[in-house]
Structure 1
């Protein structure tokens, strides 16, 4: 008795890439929304910046994040907030 098999193969690489891209964009939008709400609620700039670096590091899954301020002479950067 002969068994006959047939199959259909589809390359879903592009579909997976599109899904990953959508997930990245959704995470970015969630981060921006969270940061925006914090900015609206906060009156203390230092506390806001410290919270921002923590949230950005978490969303981006990095060990460190910092906010630098370009000083008026445009020659130096001042570390304003750091995590990691």
Structure 2
């Protein structure tokens, strides 16, 4: 039986969610289907790019939050002095 694969299957393959048998079939398909090969290469590029995304806030954002907190604390202390 000949298995047909979709772009969804290629995504599963890229994220190592396919069986060994599916891997072999997909690899064979990628050697013969230029369009799916290009899709696979695009997916791998995007996947690599996602791994480079910064998962921490920038220094500017941290500084803004700290400054806001400092200002609020000072305002609170000023109000307490007048009561």
**TM-score between both structures, scaled by the size of structure 2:** 0.38
Instruction: Select the structure with the greater relative contact order (CA < 8 A; seq sep ≥ 6).
Output: 2
- Which of the two has greater helix per residue? 2
- Which of the two has greater strand per residue? 1
Larger radius of gyration: 2
